[in-house]
Chain A
Amino acid sequence: MVVNQKGIGTGKVPIIALAGIGVSFGAVKALSDIELAIMPGECVGVVGHNGAGKSTLVNVINGRLSPTTGDASYDGGDSKADFRNSLRARNAGIRSVFQELSLCPNLTVLENLRIPYRKMPWRNWRGNAALAVRASLDAIFPGNGIDPYRVVGDLSIAERQMVEIAIAFSGRDIDARLVILDEPTSSLDGAIADQLLDYIGRFCAKGGAIIFISHMLGEIFKVASRLVVMKDGRILANDDAENFTRDSLVDAMGHVVPDAADVAAARKHKEFGPEVLRMENGLTARKGEIVGLAGLAGHGQAEALAQCFLERSSDWRATREPAVVFVAGDRGRDGVMPLWSIMRNLSLQTLVEFSRRFLVDCKGEKALAQQWHHKIGIKTDNLESSILSLSGGNQQKVLFSRALASIAPIVVMDDPMRGVDVGTKKEVYRMIRDEAEKGRTFLWYSTETDEILECDRVFVFRDSAIAAELTGDDITEENMLRASFEMQEAAP
């Protein structure tokens, strides 16, 4: 765990310097004009809401993504942005711990060290790897009791996360100089997380650097010497941690969307029917209400939706009166039937509802498709052509029609606007409002703030539980950010 001499001696050379970095995926700009330099001995906290560009930034730094524009310079070296950046990052001692666990569950703890350790000497490698993992685990998490010979699949989630962190800090041929930790404490309990924060302090004191991404503001303030606030792919603030307070940090992360006023106006004159849905975790919905599920991605919203949907639909037989329909966000995985025509895709949900006999009612199916073709404006001349001939936004419209054509009183939507253009979004928002007026209930998980602002009531999720329930004028971006990020935790 000793940081190599180069790191200590040259405290003035940044481990990584990004200049004018921009990354775009097609028309989408994920990052623009990023200026960031990380010096040895620093711990940089990175905060930002969903889609702020945190993960993209991490991938640029560790070299897995080549920036479209700008320069990345490792260790003061020459700055060419090309495919060899990941090698440069490795040679500069940059290592990452990713948000979703990236260990191989079928291997033992020590064998997992082999995977990131490229040039491992092969003589007695198992013994050496066991010693290295053991040493690293003991240094970071004293008293952990994890045996390096155990299979990772047998460990608890917290133990796996500890192993992953320990492997990132373990001694190898090139010592760790910059370790990127993306939500490293998400599965650790308080005491263990404190051990990690203490270790980060010691690591930085010895000349190492850390990039720390977390939704726990308490932890960030405890450990970071500098804070970077991101929004919409830009760095909005980059300053010493002392110059921020929790409130100023939340303020920096977001500003209220300008056209929220008319939405709020629309929201006021509404009355809802009786409660139609109540779940164990406290999620409730009334007739005619649009209920939003907000919070940082991956904090249990999708699971809550799935539970709500499966509880009400898992039956041996399809019924003519479904209680709930589903609009998929991940079209490829659980929405589109790629080999079918547009019409077939559209009528899938309602085949049983409309067909009175054993066979499919072809005329009814065609009429239904025609009706929705006009109603929602699917851009095609021929409903018989393949669904894949449509653009992403129009495919999503087909999926919306599929669900809305049903008479089901509850519509569950799993971030359905992913990769949909603004025009389509506006149309769909209007249609959702109209349907809600008619008495349908919508459960809407979205990672985008302006969509959540369309809702009548919002549940903010954090760590797979509901952290806050917002209604009426309380539905603001600021309140959502407050609830998504841990605020209550006491500072040291």
Chain B
Amino acid sequence: MNRDHLRILLPVLSLAILLAAVFYLQPRAMSYFGLNLLFNLAVPVALATIAQMMILMVNDIDLSIGTFVSFCACVTATFVQSDPVIGYAILLAAILVYAGMGAVIHARGLPAIVVTLGMSFFWSGLAILILPSPGGAAPDWLRAMMKAKPPFLPVAIIAPILIGLIMHYFVKRSSLGVLLRGVGGNAQAIERSGWSVLGLKAIAYGIAGLFGVLAGMALVGLTTSADANIALRYTLLSIAGVILGGGEFTGGRVSPIGAVIGALTLTLAASFLSFLHLSSDWQIGAQGAILILVLAVRLVFTRREALA
């Protein structure tokens, strides 16, 4: 049992406690249909959280993920639905822009927080150009996939598990994942061994872009239409999700399974507050309070660790 295992314990516990509280307040949620309702909006959040995790892993931060997901959602609801070839080409180009952004940030020594903040206006502008007013439609296959009803477990449960496991194997077990985490841990050591930190950062950003695209598509599949401001909250939700899941802002310490659990916890917290009949004015504040509580508990744990 090493430090990584301890780290994952806290997000698992907080999700379990929150889930138990929701079931206590609303026993009917304890069903196939109820779980799907509770968690289906968590799928795009989880994808965006994984995207943010890839960036935090290399010691950067992405403030543009929210507008990027909105942009991808707008493209999906318009071009992908009407002219699939152009639509997918745009999404592919967006991923390449992300990879290029990572390369430029490293090559020029720019602060990622500034570059991504600037890019967030770029994506937002593009999204408004594509879809000036809410509308569009989801491609049929996408809607069918997101609304499918497989036996035993709803999509809203299967999808996060799959995302978590696949990314766990990529980030924690594959040898490329080790190099990517190494960039966050000690970029100098990576550079000394002859690897291209530039290339590795571009890969990390490119994968983040890919997950941003997937988040946008999943979101349109659920809502069946899009809006240029549909995912603005995702920037902060994704950062909170990674941190809640045991990740850290620097040092390449991230956990994909933790990040997915963090995203689920944040989504569930919103439902939990609704079940408490808390007015929506207070909900964001209460969500923040839950976040602070969990992080405070974690701080106590890490202090203990440091003393031991």
Contact = CB atoms under 8 A, between A and B. Distances in A.
A120 B179 CA distance: 12
Chain A, interface residues (CB within 8 Å), range: 20 to 34
Contact of B189 (A87, A90, A104, A120): A104
Contacts of B181: 104, 106-107, 111
Nearest to A111: B178
Contact of A116 (B173, B186, B188, B193): B193
B181 to A, nearest CB: 6
Contacts, number: 66
A122 B190 CA distance: 18
A379 interface: no
Interface stretch (A145-153, A175-183, A243-251): A145-153
Contacts of B194: 86-87, 90, 118
A445 to B, nearest CB: 24
A77 interface: no
Interface in B156-194: 173-175, 178-179, 181-182, 184-186, 188-190, 192-194
A374 B82 CA distance: 75
A482 B53 CA distance: 52
A114 interface: yes
B275 interface: no
A104 B190 CA distance: 9
Contacts of A149: 2
B252 interface: yes
Interface string B1-15: 011100000000000
B185 A105 contact: yes
B33 interface: no
Chain B, interface residues (CB within 8 Å), range: 20 to 34
A104 B193 contact: no
A125 B190 CA distance: 18
A114 B195 CA distance: 11
A154 interface: yes
B251 interface: yes
Contacts of B178: 107, 111, 114-115
Nearest to A95: B193
Contacts of B143: none
Contact of A126 (B173, B185, B192): B173
Interface of B: 2-4, 173-175, 178-179, 181-182, 184-186, 188-190, 192-195, 251-253
Interface of A: 64, 86-87, 90, 96, 98, 102-108, 111-112, 114-116, 118, 120, 122, 125-126, 149-151, 153-154
